[in-house]
Chains A and B, each alone.
Chain A
């Protein structure tokens, strides 16, 4: 188990739970498509912003650009959110994944690999949790808070299941 699993679990949970949308569960047909697009977008968000950051650090070695990484990443993520017209929950997941790079000194190649791992792990966790929610907890759209303990329990069992599968995705 490594620290990346925590960020994947947090980001994946928010993507699956959709707090802004009052626990709406999408149709099955939309789940796979959404998961695929979210993986690609999260990956591109993270790689694009960390690559820009790496380039800036290389161009200005005397300035401690790494000290300003959270400000820089948050602004970049918001700009991409506006351009792509994404929801607040997607932004929150992107922030969780991107800000986990804070304080790290990684090359572009390492950043890209890490971002790919984080994005794919998050999307798969979100997909499995969505499927489990849809199948086991919500057969209809619930009122606020109803079903929250069950969804947390599902998330815990899912994390344990991934851990038992030889620590799949670092779980």
Chain B
């Protein structure tokens, strides 16, 4: 039996849940969460596209620095003119595939990036909506604290972990 997203690895899911963390604290309404999620996904797509197409032009030692310069400029764009919180750049940083500059891994990187672009705003908007509903509308006090964000993330991670068809990996000794 296959999982709901058979091509979406556990590593990607971990990254998506972690990337939600700073962004969840920066957005307070579902509409804001949607805007933040779309901007973050767009920034991830733009960074991945740029470095997949032009990564080979940079000297190997300079690639990480070039990526970081790109992210710094993106943080500035988030702040002005987009008017969002620049901490969203940490989410982009966490979502960027680790093998972005690896030779011969382009297909894998593109697939991973596309999955994260789709999955991140989806998860983030859902979490943002629940956060707002429980914290602001129903006034559950624990959801007005940082603890609320973690409780939601724990629930989402638990659901992911127990989805039908998921194979459980053995822990490394």
Mark interface residues in B8-20 (1 if CB within 8 Å of A CB, else 0).
0111011101100
Q: Does B45 contact A (CB under 8 A)?
A: no
Closest-by-CB residue of A relative to B88 is: A99
Residue from the list A99, A148, A150, A153 in contact with B86, Cβ < 8 A: A99
Per the bound structure, the CA–CA distance linking A97 and B76 in Å amounts to 16
B93 CB to closest chain A CB (Å) equals 6
Asked if A78 contacts B86 (CB within 8 A), the reply is no
Q: A102-B79, A142-B172, A153-B154 known; A10 and B93 CB under 8 Å? A: no
List, in ascending order, chain A residues with CB within 8 A of B110's CB: none
For B18, give its contact among A7, A19, A70, A75 (CB under 8 Å).
A19
Tell me if B94 and A19 are in contact (CB < 8 A): yes
A14 in contact with B171 given A74-B71, A171-B145 (CB within 8 Å): no
Which of A1, A10, A92, A95 has the most C-beta atoms of chain B within 10 angstroms of its own C-beta?
Answer: A10
Complex contacts, B69 vs chain A, CB 8 Å: 75
Q: Can you name the residue of chain A whose Cβ is closest to the Cβ of B93?
A: A92
For window 5-36 of B, CB contacts with A under 8 Å fall at: 9-11, 13-15, 17-18, 21-22, 25
> Quick check: is B140 within 8 A (CB to CB) of the other chain?
no
- Which one of B75, B90, B168 lies within 8 Å of A71 (CB-CB)? B75
Beta-carbon contact of B171 and A140 below 8 Å:
yes
Count residues of chain A with CB under 8 A from any CB of chain B. Answer: 49
Q: CB-CB < 8 A to A74: which residues of B?
A: 68, 71-72, 75-76, 86, 89
In Å, the complex CA distance between A88 and B64 comes to: 11
Q: Is the CB of B144 within 8 A of A7?
A: no
Please, how many angstroms separate the alpha-carbon atoms of A166 and B25 in the complex? 22
* Chain B, interface SS category: helix
Known A13-B21, A152-B154; contact A143-B147, beta-carbon cutoff 8 A = no
Interface pair B150/A70, CB less than 8 Å apart: no
B93 close to A141 (CB less than 8 A): no
Beyond A10-B25, A95-B89, is A70–B169 a contact (Cβ under 8 Å)? no
The smallest beta-carbon distance between A67 and chain B, in angstroms, is 5
Inter-chain contact A9/B18, CB cutoff 8 Å = no
Distance (Å) between the CB of A149 and the closest chain B CB? 4
12 contacts between A and B (CB under 8 A): A19-B94, A70-B79, A71-B73, A71-B75, A74-B76, A102-B85, A102-B87, A143-B169, A144-B14, A145-B14, A152-B154, A159-B145
Chain A residues with CB under 8 Å of chain B are 1, 5-10, 13-14, 17, 19, 67-71, 73-75, 78, 82, 88, 91-92, 95-96, 99-100, 102-103, 140-146, 148-150, 152-153, 155-157, 159-160, 163, 171
